[in-house]
Amino acid sequence: MLMIGPPGSGKSMLAQRLPSILPPLAPRELLEVSMIASVAGELGEGKLTDRRPFRAPHHSASMAALVGGGLRVRPGEASLAHHGVLFLDEFPEFSPQALDALRQPLETGDCMIARANHRVTYPARIQLVAAMNPCRCGMAGEPGYRCLRGDRCRTDYQARISGPLLDRIDLRIEVPAVSASDLIRPDRAEKSADVALRVARARTTQRQRFERLGATSVTTNAHCSPSIIEEIAMPDASGLSLLRDASEKLGFSARAYHRVLKVARTLADLEASETVGRIHLAEAISYRMSSERMAQAA
C-alpha cells in the first residue's frame, strides 16, 4: 500500500495503527518471527510476543539494511518484518537501489542473499506500507497552494519510484490534509476492535478455503498462486467485462491482472461475500489506476 498526501495528513499514524487490526501471530508464525529475531540478535531476554512485527527504518537505510547482508549476513528490515508490516516513510527519499531490492521479497516472500562462497535465504512475507508527499514541496494539489515549480515538481518526485516496484504495490491511496475543523468536530469512526474482528473473520475464511483446496501452506489471498486466485476469484459476466476493459485501457501486466483479482477477492471476503462481484473489481481497479499513472510518470 502506498499513501500519498501532504505533511501532517496522518499517513504515519495510519501505518502505525495497522498492526492493531491484524490478528495475533499463529504459533507457527510466532516461531518463525522469533527465529529471525534471534538470528539478528534482537530477541531481548528471550521474550516472545504474539504481536505482529512493525518495522520503520529511516530513509537513509542501505540496501543491506533493508534486505540483509553484511559480513555475517544478518537479516534485514524486510525479514525482521516477516508476517508483519514494513513501513517506509518518505518513500522516494530511499535510494533507488535499496527500493528495487525489495522487488524480490514482495514477489516471492524471501530475501536471497548471495555471496562468493555461500547463499542465505531469509523469509520476508511482509505487508509493505509506504508513505510519501505528492511532490518535493509537499503540498501539490492542495487547495490554496500553488507549487512554484509546477507539475514537474510532482512528476520528477514520483518518478524516483521505478515502474517495476510500483507494479508490485496493489493499493495507492490519496490522504487529504486534515483541517482544524476536522479535529474540532471529528466524525464518528469505526473502532479498531470492530475492524480487527472483520479482518480476523476474513482471514479465517481464506485459510479454510485454501485448506479445502489442499494449499495448506497458504493462509491469505496475497500469497496464493495465479492458478488458485483465478479459480477462487472468477468474477461474473459483468465483472469479467469490466476487468477486460480495464486491462486493455490501462495496460495491465499479468502480475497486475492477478493482483487485482486478489484485492477483489479480499474485498469480497471482508464483506462475507461468496462471489466476487463487479463492485469488488471496480474498487480493486480504482486502487490500481493511480499506480498505473505513477508508473507511466516513472
pLDDT in tens, 68-105: 988 788 999 999 999 999 999 999 999 999 999 999 99
* pTM of the predicted protein model: 0.89
Pairing label, strands 110-114, 127-132: unpaired
* Phi, then psi, of 76 in degrees rounded to 5: -95, -175
Residue with cell 463492485: 279
For residue 296, is pLDDT > 90?
no
Q: Are residues 170 and 63 in the same domain?
A: yes
Cα dihedral 282, 286, 287, 293 sign: positive
Residues 6+ apart with CB under 8 A from 122: 36, 39, 68, 75, 76, 79, 82, 110, 111, 113
Residues 204 and 158 reside in one and the same domain: no
**pLDDT tens digits for 164-192?**
999 999 999 988 887 777 777 767 778 88
**Final residue before a domain boundary, out of 151, 179, 207:** 179
Judge whether 186 lies within some domain: no
Please tell me whether residues 61 and 102 are part of one structural domain. yes
**276: region left, alpha or beta (phi > 0 left; psi from -120 to 50 alpha):** beta
With respect to residue 187, please indicate whether it lies within any of the assigned structural domains.
no
Q: Are residues 163 and 258 in the same domain?
A: no
pLDDT at 231: 93
Q: How far is CA 45 from CA 31, 96, 198, in A?
A: 16, 36, 34
149 and 21 part of one domain = yes
Q: Tell me: do 173 and 205 sit in the same domain.
A: no
Amino acid 290: pLDDT:
59
Domain count along the chain: 2
**Is 90 exceeded by the pLDDT of residue 297?**
no
Query: In the chain, what is the straight-line distance between the N-terminal and C-terminal CA atoms, in Å?
Result: 18
pLDDT for 180: 74
Note whether 20 and 131 are same-domain residues: yes
pLDDT tens, residue by residue, 187-246: 777 888 999 999 999 999 999 999 999 988 899 999 999 999 999 998 888 888 999 999
Residues 220 and 244 both lie in one domain = yes
On whether both 114 and 209 belong to a single domain, the answer is no
Cα–Cα distance between 264 and 281 in angstroms, integer?
5
In terms of domains, do 160 and 230 share one? no
Q: Which domain holds residue 153?
A: 2-179
CATH of the domain at 125: 3.40.50.300
Q: What is the pLDDT of residue 86?
A: 97
